[in-house]
Amino acid sequence: MRRLNRKKTLNLMKELDAFPKVPESYVETSASGGTVSLIAFTTIAFLTIMEFMVYQDTWMKYEYEVDKDFTSKLRINIDITVAMRCQYVGADVLDLAETMVASADGLIYEPVPFELTPQQKELQRMLQIIQSRLQEEHSLQDVIFKSAFKSASTALPPRQDNSLQSPDACRIHGHLYVNKVAGNFHITVGKAIPHPRGHAHLAALVSHESYNFSHRIDHLSFGELIPGIINPLDGTEKIASDHNQMFQYFITVVPTKLHTHKISAETHQFSVTERERVINHAAGSHGVSGIFMKYDISSLMVTVTEEHMPFWQFLVRLCGIIGGIFSTTGILHGFGRFVAEIIFCRFRLGSYRSTLVPLPDGHTSNHLPLITDNSTH
């Protein structure tokens, strides 16, 4: 009884077989079929390698939402060198919402030579090349996001001590914490002094001939400091053509949450528009000589996430490639063989021309006459 049940089960499973086996005695091989098979296997191998490379790659996904965090502080990371002595310049932030000067205690004034060392010039030249490429190819920003990690750094290499070169510039570096509202970070002549009715710098003791706001922005970023991320103003260098010259940078800051396989941080991206002009009150160009960075905070927040293709999707795509190539090459091979047989058959039929054979009853026949022994004589 059990054997009978097993036999019925096996017969049922055979009926459900969707892959019937053809005996080898009924299989006919051909040179054209072998050629098509070789092309199919080569194509499958090539596309499989390409698909595996796509599977290993990642892409950045951008999501946008309204920034609801208004209570936290905004960090500004600064590293700027001005071609003036440190006792002649002052840097601070004017908060436009509260019309007050933010504390600038986190900034360090370091006397340095304005001229860079050869190693530092090489890094600055590299940053300028990257900045020009980023303006042309925006997709490179994704590469920078994915390659950023905490052990890397885009800061200038340390300067070697050179006693022959006297410090003729001032390096202002450090960080500030300000409210998340529009503000104005500026470097101008004289130190900032507290004033109950506004904002002032003690510049009366500095002569106009000593004004020189040629500057180099080695680094400027907002939010958490992430070494490896290249910001729009990194590597910027401006040379003043006049003593009374104003440099303005209009910055729009966008809060950004960055989540990659190497790092997860809350930082800020920003775009910038530059303008510079000479202060000449007689010609109607009013203002104060110096470097002014006016920033505004965007109400939108961007979440940048590095995504990877799931393994199951890779398997589905791979099966689709293999099955699709086998089916397509089989159809093309069958169609080509069918066309070839039709063409060859027409050539064969054309080689035998039909002749009219008279019949005894007066009719004619277009069949080919039979070849007999008497016809050969």
What is the domain partition of the chain in residue ranges? 68-298
377 pLDDT band, cuts 50/70/90, is: very low
SS3 for 183?
A: strand
- The string of pLDDT tens digits covering residues 106-146 is 788 999 888 888 888 888 888 888 888 877 777 777 777 77
| Cβ atoms of 214 and 112 closer than 8 Å | no
Tokens 């509202």 belong to 181
- Per-residue confidence (pLDDT) for residue 170, from 0 to 100: 92
pLDDT at 37 over 50: yes
Cα angle 166-82-205, degrees, rounded to a multiple of 5:
85
DSSP state of 348: H
CB atoms within 10 A of CB 265: 16
Q: Which of 101-105, 117-121, 184-188 has the highest mean pLDDT?
A: 184-188
Q: Is the model more confident about 301 or about 345?
A: 301
- Per-residue confidence (pLDDT) for residue 295, from 0 to 100: 93
pLDDT at 29 over 80: no
- Per-residue confidence (pLDDT) for residue 70, from 0 to 100: 76
Please give the average per-residue pLDDT across 185-195, as a whole number: 80
Which among 305, 292, 307, 318 is positioned nearest to 265, based on CA atoms? 305
Question: Beta strands of the chain (E only): which ranges?
Answer: 58-66, 73-82, 89-95, 100-102, 107-112, 169-179, 183-189, 191-193, 200-202, 215-223, 236-238, 245-259, 264-278, 290-297, 300-308, 357-358, 364-365
Q: State the maximum Cα–Cα separation within the chain, in Å, rounded to a whole number.
A: 138
| Global pTM value | 0.69
